[in-house]
Chains A and B, each alone.
Chain A
């Protein structure tokens, strides 16, 4: 993590805000926390602390509740919502010394892969102002890639950390489901959501992950398992380590540069002593359809609380309760969110439950079983993170399925609850692209180890967009 012994914490924070201001056309932030941040920095300067992340500026995805600081989840319906409490992740990071400089832009309720569904306008990719940063953690990825902040939090339900990391040329990890508490994370799909760090390097991610993880009795899906020191294994040798290559993934649909980049990275790992082993995940091609039943079903219920009664926005001039509900939700939610709520209501409704929801959860088990079998013989699985580099804003038109297929490689890890990360491994037409490493249950250390060793040998993670000062 950037160390800045020579300059004061206050100067660092001031520099962060001048950068954010300079690059505000990236639209990476929804709400800034300048006053408080500077106050905290001054306190740190006055009584220096030995906290692990003391003074580190961090950008928080606007999906985490922050006490007293507006939290919108990228939606009009929470436009004016100021939470009375903070997410466990936020508390953990701030207790470790981090300074939350602001809330980053995102696809509305994390539903999107391009950041185009945000009520607060789409985020631009620092690698090209006409390019999407990916999504849903697009503001976070853009802010880190542009060097506005050294660290950011993201959340990943189907690839929302890994895909934007790939498209913006940074490193991000989605931990094992249950590693990081979901308390205070505004739920999209409860059985898939998981928070994780986004930064320049795997090492920085390890530092951040050490502080983000905790055992939280407020979240019954928060795991009790020991939390290792994620820095410990970063430099372990990869000799004899086994990398699973998924036969069943058809890469022919990808452009050659992507495939070539991917294969070069595999060679790089081989040269470090790792072995490539073909594995079979027979049901992986069903990940996307499975996801697009499970996630909408859960979100259709999770988003029912946004009804204009107790918090958030309420439509004016509703003449009765029914109208209050319908107007509030119709004005408050964007098209993609509505689309997913409708799909969710459909797959859960009488007569369709078994055919869709139950079926999808059964296939989900098959997918998880495939991974369990594979990990009996290998240490990690590698795939490209995305089908290609960042695409142009608006280029996916409004064909939802084209957008859904963006998450082809990332979704399966969420369905199975496995840790997975993306790290920069190439550059196509001056646009970064990422490699995905999927690990076994609770085995973040091993994928961070692979990523760190790769970053020792390569410098893709050091590439920065033109015109961005570092």
Chain B
């Protein structure tokens, strides 16, 4: 775990790390990764990953429209919106 890696993952996570905290964070993350590295001692060849404790298959929906028009409610909870759209600073393509 080094400065460069932390810069990359904080960019991916859209998080800014204050300079005064940077050293500690690099250090913490390093320790945590070192701590989880003990997993590599286990032989897991041929073992299928378990991504959910329920080894079942999903229930699915019928193709029916159930949603109501929530425009007003949803735009209300938005930090910035006009009467029609959620608003963000201009994105240049």
Q: Are B78 and A359 in contact (CB under 8 A)?
A: no
| 8 Å CB contact of B42 from A343, A361, A363 | A363
Residue of B nearest to A331 (CB): B16
| 8 Å CB contact of B59 from A220, A356, A366 | A220
Q: Does chain A have a CB within 8 A of B65?
A: no
| 8 Å CB contact of A401 from B17, B31, B54, B89 | B31
Q: Which B residues lie within 8 Å of A398 (CB)? A: 24
Q: Do A339 and B29 form a contact, CB below 8 Å, given A363-B44, A366-B47? A: yes
Q: Which B residues lie within 8 Å of A343 (CB)? A: 29, 32-33
Q: Are A363 and B39 in contact (CB under 8 A)?
A: yes
Q: List CB contacts (< 8 Å) of A300-359 with chain B.
A: 300, 307-314, 318-327, 329-330, 333, 335, 338-339, 341-347, 349, 355-356, 358-359
CB distance from B83 to the nearest CB of A (A): 16
Which of the segments A29-37, A117-125, A144-152, A289-297 contacts the partner chain?
A: A289-297
Residue of B nearest to A400 (CB): B28
Q: Do A342 and B25 form a contact, CB below 8 Å, given A223-B54, A286-B39, A362-B47? A: yes
**When each residue 66-85 of chain B gets 1 if its CB lies under 8 Å from chain A and 0 otherwise, what string results?**
00001001100111100000
Q: Which B residues lie within 8 Å of A289 (CB)? A: 35-39
Counting chain A residues whose Cβ lies within 8 A of the other chain, the interface size class is: 35 or more
Q: List CB contacts (< 8 Å) of B1-24 with chain A.
A: 1, 5-6, 8-10, 12-17, 21, 24
Residue of A nearest to B80 (CB): A314
Please count the residue pairs between chain A and chain B whose beta carbons lie under 8 angstroms apart in the complex. Answer: 161
The docked-state distance in angstroms from the alpha carbon of A178 to that of B5 is: 37
Q: Are B16 and A330 in contact (CB under 8 A)?
A: yes
CB distance from A165 to the nearest CB of B (A): 22
The docked-state distance in angstroms from the alpha carbon of A447 to that of B73 is: 43
CB distance from A334 to the nearest CB of B (A): 11
Q: Which B residues lie within 8 Å of A221 (CB)? A: 52, 54
The prevalent SS among residues of A at the interface is: helix
Q: Which A residues lie within 8 Å of B50 (CB)? A: 361-362, 364-365, 368
Residue of B nearest to A418 (CB): B53
Q: Do A356 and B9 form a contact, CB below 8 Å, given A324-B88, A329-B15, A361-B50? A: no
Q: Which A residues lie within 8 Å of B8 (CB)? A: 349
| 8 Å CB contact of A329 from B5, B14, B39, B80 | B14
Q: Do A191 and B91 form a contact, CB below 8 Å, given A286-B42, A310-B78? A: no
The docked-state distance in angstroms from the alpha carbon of A322 to that of B89 is: 9
Q: Are B53 and A366 in contact (CB under 8 A)?
A: no
Q: Which A residues lie within 8 Å of B6 (CB)? A: 342
CB distance from A339 to the nearest CB of B (A): 6
The docked-state distance in angstroms from the alpha carbon of A346 to that of B79 is: 30
**When each residue 153-182 of chain A gets 1 if its CB lies under 8 Å from chain B and 0 otherwise, what string results?**
000000000000000000000000110000
| 8 Å CB contact of B89 from A177, A223, A320, A400 | A320
Q: Are A366 and B44 in contact (CB under 8 A)?
A: yes
Q: Which B residues lie within 8 Å of A349 (CB)? A: 8-9, 12
The docked-state distance in angstroms from the alpha carbon of A346 to that of B74 is: 33
Q: Are A342 and B36 in contact (CB under 8 A)?
A: no
Residue of A nearest to B6 (CB): A342
Q: Does chain B have a CB within 8 A of A390?
A: no
Q: Does chain B have a CB within 8 A of A217?
A: yes
Q: Which A residues lie within 8 Å of B48 (CB)? A: 362, 365
Residue of B nearest to A312 (CB): B79
Q: Which B residues lie within 8 Å of A220 (CB)? A: 58-60
Task: Beyond the given A224-B59, A292-B35, please list 11 additional residue pairs across the A-B interface where CB-CB is below 8 A.
Answer: A191-B53, A324-B88, A329-B14, A338-B17, A362-B48, A363-B39, A363-B42, A365-B48, A368-B50, A400-B28, A415-B53
Complex A-B: 7 CB contacts under 8 Å? A82-B77, A217-B59, A326-B15, A330-B16, A342-B13, A343-B32, A359-B42
